[in-house]
Amino acid sequence: MRIRFALAAAAAATALVAGCSSDDGTTESTSGESVTVEHVFGSTTIDGTPERIVATSGQWVDALIEFGVQPVAYLSAGSMGDERGLFPWQQNVAADAIALDDTALLTGGDLPVEEIASLQPDLVLGSWLVDSETDFDTLSAVAPTVAPLSETGVDRWDDQVRVLGEILGRSDDAETIIADREAEIAAAALPGLAGRTGVLSQYMFGQGQFVVVADPNDGAAALFEQLGMTLPPSLVEEAGISQGRLMFSPERVDALVADLLIILPNGGTEQDLLALPGFSGLPAVTGGGLAVVDYPTVAAFNTPSSLSIGYALDTIRPQLEAIAGA
C-alpha cells in the first residue's frame, strides 16, 4: 500500500533509497552516450540524452529544475500545492508541463501508466511511488525507468542530483548544485547546534496519531545531520523494526524528546497541538525549538531537494537560533 508522510490521506512515506554502483550514489557510465543506473529493482540503461522526462516525485521535479531541464509531466501535489499542484519553490516548471493527478495514488491506486505512455517519454524518473517490481516493469515497457535508488526511506537529494547529472552528461553541474546548497546549509549550522536533537513529524488529528521520521539513513533526516544535529537515540532504536517511520498515539507524546520539533498539525492548528496533554511541556516547546509548519513546508523537509531545503531552512531559522543559543 502506498502511503505518504505529509498528506492528509497518508500516514508516512514508505520509500526505497539509493543503491547505486558506487559508494557515493553516482551511476556507472560506459560511454558518453550510455549511462547505467543501479537501483532497487536492478539497473536501467539510458542511451543518449533524454529530452522527454516524466518525474513521478517532487524531488525529481526539483532536480530537473536545478539543471534547467523541464519535465514533460510531473506528479501534482493536488490541493496541497498551487493551482498547478506545485509548491512555492517549483514555480519555474513550464506552463505546458502536464500535471499527473495523484488522487488515485493516495488511496492505493495504480500509477497513471496510460497517461504517461501517451506523452511518449524517453525517461521516467521513479520514486517511492514505484514501490513494486510490477510497477517498475510496467513503466519500463513505456520508457527507461529509474526506480527508487535504495531500500530505506526517502532518496537523498544529493544522490538524485548526481544520478541526474550523469544521465544528462553534466556531472560538473551536479557537483556545483550540491556544493552551493551544502554551503548554505553549512552557514545555517550554528556552533550551538552540535549534539542537539531534531525530529520531523506530523500529528494526524483525524486518526489521533503522531508520525515521526526516525531513521538516520532516511533522506528526510539528512538535513539534521548536516546541521550538526542527530535524531533522538530512543526513537532511532524503536524505529529499527518499523522501516524508519514511527506512528504512535498522543499518550506517548513524551517520546518527542527532541530539541527541535518540526511538525505539521494535520487537520488542526498549533493551539490544538498545544492542547494535547503533555505537548506544552516538551523540550522543543519550552526551549524555543518548536516549528509548527504548513503542508508545503513539511513536504519540503520530508521529501527534500536542493530547492526545497533552500525554502525550508528560512522557515526554521528562529528555532535554530533559539536552540543554538545564538
In this prediction the pTM is 0.85
Domains with residue ranges and CATH for the chain: 28-184 (3.40.50.1980), 190-324 (3.40.50.1980)
pLDDT digits (tens, 9 = 90+) for 257-292: 999 999 999 999 999 999 999 999 999 999 999 999
Residues of the chain whose pLDDT is less than 50?
A: 1-32
* Alpha carbon distance 111, 130 (integer Å): 8
In this predicted structure, what is the pLDDT of residue 241?
56
Q: Per residue in 71-92, is it b (16+ CB within 10 Å) or e — as a string?
A: bbbbbbbeebbeeebbbebbee
pLDDT digits (tens, 9 = 90+) for 161-219: 999 999 999 999 999 999 999 999 999 999 999 999 999 999 999 999 999 999 888 88
Phi, psi at 277, each rounded to 5°: -55, 125
